[in-house]
């Protein structure tokens, strides 16, 4: 865990059409939402251009916010092989951007993220959104859903870092 009590985490929910991002900052005992949204690509563009856009936008987030850690949601079961391959490629360019900026990477499964926030591994989108809203003291559930998922990944990472610190 970072030496000071101030920690910034960039959460990412990877996708090739819509990559959610969420940045949180822990200052002392407070958890502050810094920014969230999504990186949206244009469906009619060549796929390699879409990947490059995800890469450059992720690199920009990393350079602008200089997070201490990046939390990336791992892939889960996909019925469509083409989709899982494309999302994997999007994850790849996100991981490349993190490595280029020397940002430590933590990866979490959807189950781990759900358990960290709700205590229940099968929580639905609404339950997760409400927990993100409550933990970050927001007026409403963050939209789009991918941004809420990315904030959840960042919160899971913060929880994981706390647990590692306790284990030392």
Could you list the active site residues?
13, 73, 146
How many Cα atoms are found within 13 Å in the side-chain-facing hemisphere of 58? Answer: 34
Cα separation, 143 vs 101, in Å, equals 27
Phi, psi (rounded to 5 degrees) for 32: -115, 130
Considering Cα of 96, then 92, then 111, then 20, what sign does the dihedral take?
positive
Q: CA-CA distance, 156 to 116, in Å (whole number)?
A: 6
Other beta carbons within 10 Å of 139: 5
């Amino acid at each position: 865990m970072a030496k000071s009590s101030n920690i910034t985490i960039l959460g990412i929910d990877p996708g090739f059409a819509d990559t959610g991002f969420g940045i949180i900052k822990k200052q002392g005992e407070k958890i502050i939402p810094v920014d969230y949204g999504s990186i949206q690509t244009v469906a009619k563009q060549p796929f390699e251009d879409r990947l490059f856009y995800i890469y450059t936008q992720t690199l920009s987030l990393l350079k602008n916010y200089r997070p201490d850690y990046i939390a990336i949601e791992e892939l889960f079961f996909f019925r469509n092989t083409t989709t899982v391959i494309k999302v994997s490629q999007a994850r790849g360019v996100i991981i490349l951007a993190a490595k280029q900026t020397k940002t430590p990477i933590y990866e979490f499964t959807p189950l781990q993220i759900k358990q960290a926030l709700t205590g229940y591994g099968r929580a639905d989108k609404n339950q997760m959104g409400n927990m993100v809203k409550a933990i970050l003291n927001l007026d409403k559930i963050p939209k789009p859903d991918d941004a809420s998922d990315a904030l959840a990944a960042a919160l899971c990472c913060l929880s994981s870092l706390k647990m590692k610190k306790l284990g030392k």
